[in-house]
């Protein structure tokens, strides 16, 4: 028998929860009865979502947190333990790209103008930043929070991969590689924790408009860029996704009744983008 989704009294930790997608997910978890810890470098941004959750009668708290600083994460874990109790569900949402790890052009050409940021100009620090934020940030957060999840009924981890983990997108080699690593790590964790009751899955969102990609998708006048047109042409459903369209997939993966035997999957939520060859 299919059971109703219910996260009542589950403790959910969401990293990157000051951002558009994870702030939205955190709010939805709270609406579904969870006690939600919203972690972000930008505590103010996370607090905005917390204010809305509290106003609606939910349980949530914002924590200033850096997913690349293990000592800070350990400290935050202790505070959450005191505030809400042990973690049941971890959403590793902190992630993103960096302009220094992005080429100006899709294809390299001879005689590019001198001011072009080509593959050969990509900045090592920018590339490390992207790999660290997406991969290491997910790994460190999992090290810290999964400890309390060992043997906890229904415990699970949700990572955020991306379309470019399946096939890399042009211009963003570091972000594509880092998200491919996240998909791989999701499978690794699913296997590694399989004997102690922690499931690990990921979602791979297609193209949703957020702060991270707004300037790539719209020009100063708010019109879709050439890249945005290309994305829409390659998304069979012909539109960008909305944050709310991630919720069903995330809830399915996080719910111990609905997906108790689902482990190590990367679920595309992409309007068909990853299924389409473009022909």
Number of residues counted as binding ligand NAD (CB under 6 A): 30
Nearest residue to ligand NAD on Cβ basis: 19
Q: Which of 10, 12, 18, 166 binds ligand NAD (CB under 6 A)?
A: 18
Residue closer to ligand NAD (CB basis): 72 or 256 = 72
* Closest among 26, 85, 90, 88 to 60, alpha carbons compared: 26
- Residue with tokens 């350990």, as numbered in its chain: 74
Asked if 176 is part of the footprint of ligand NAD (rule: CB under 6 A), the reply reads no
- Distance from C-alpha of 181 to C-alpha of 90, rounded to nearest angstrom: 18
Let me know: does 152 contact 86? Beta carbons within 8 Å: yes
Q: Which of 13, 22, 228, 247 binds ligand NAD (CB under 6 A)?
A: 22
- Which parts of 44-103 interact with ligand NAD (CB under 6 A)? 45, 65-68, 93-96
Across 41-155, where does the E strand assignment appear?
A: 59-64, 89-92
CB of 55 to ligand NAD, least distance (A): 20
- Which parts of 137-156 interact with ligand NAD (CB under 6 A)? 137
Q: What is the DSSP letter of 277?
A: -
Instruction: Give me the catalytic one of 24, 135, 175, 276.
Output: 175
CB of 2 to ligand NAD, least distance (A): 28
Active site residue 63: no
Q: What is the DSSP letter of 225?
A: P
Please, what sign has the CA dihedral across residues 204, 209, 213, 219?
positive
Q: Which of 160, 174, 231, 250 binds ligand NAD (CB under 6 A)?
A: 160
Residue closer to ligand NAD (CB basis): 34 or 133 = 133
- Cα separations in angstroms, 252 against 55, 200, 230, 261: 26, 12, 30, 11
- Residue with tokens 């509290």, as numbered in its chain: 54
CB of 5 to ligand NAD, least distance (A): 21
Q: Which residues pair with 141 in a beta bridge?
A: none
- Which parts of 189-228 interact with ligand NAD (CB under 6 A)? 205, 207-208, 210-213
- The tokens describing 199, both together, are 């499931």
- Distance from C-alpha of 205 to C-alpha of 249, rounded to nearest angstrom: 10
- Distance from C-alpha of 90 to C-alpha of 201, rounded to nearest angstrom: 11
Choose one: 37-45, 116-124, 146-154, 253-261; the region binding ligand NAD (CB under 6 A): 37-45
Residue closer to ligand NAD (CB basis): 145 or 207 = 207
Residues assigned a catalytic role: 175
Where along the sequence are the contacts to ligand NAD (CB under 6 A)?
Answer: 15-16, 18-22, 40-42, 45, 65-68, 93-96, 133, 137, 160, 162, 205, 207-208, 210-213
């Amino acid at each position: 028998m299919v059971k109703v989704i219910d996260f009542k009294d589950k403790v959910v930790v969401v990293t990157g929860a000051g951002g558009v997608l994870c702030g939205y997910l955190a709010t939805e978890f709270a609406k579904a009865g969870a006690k939600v810890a919203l972690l972000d470098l930008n505590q103010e941004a996370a607090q905005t979502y917390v204010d809305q959750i509290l106003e609606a009668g939910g349980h949530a708290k914002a924590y200033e947190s850096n997913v690349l600083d293990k000592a800070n994460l350990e400290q935050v874990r202790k505070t959450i333990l005191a505030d809400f109790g042990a973690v049941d569900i971890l959403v590793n949402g902190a992630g993103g790209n960096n302009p220094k790890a992005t080429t100006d052009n899709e294809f390299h050409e001879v005689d590019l103008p001198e001011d072009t940021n080509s593959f050969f100009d990509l900045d090592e620090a920018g590339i490390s930043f992207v790999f660290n934020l997406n991969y290491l940030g997910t790994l460190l957060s999992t090290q810290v929070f999964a400890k309390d999840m060992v043997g906890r009924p229904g415990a699970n981890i949700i990572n955020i991969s991306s379309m470019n983990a399946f096939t890399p997108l042009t211009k963003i080699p570091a972000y594509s590689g880092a998200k491919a690593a996240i998909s791989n790590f999701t499978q690794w964790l699913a296997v590694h924790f399989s004997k102690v009751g922690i499931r690990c899955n990921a979602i791979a969102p297609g193209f949703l408009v957020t702060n991270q990609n707004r300037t790539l998708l719209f020009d100063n006048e708010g019109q879709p860029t050439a890249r945005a047109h290309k994305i829409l042409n390659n998304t069979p459903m012909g539109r960008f996704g909305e944050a709310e369209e991630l919720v069903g997939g995330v809830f399915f993966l996080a719910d111990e009744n609905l997906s108790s035997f689902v482990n190590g999957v990367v679920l595309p939520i992409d309007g068909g983008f990853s299924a389409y060859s473009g022909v």
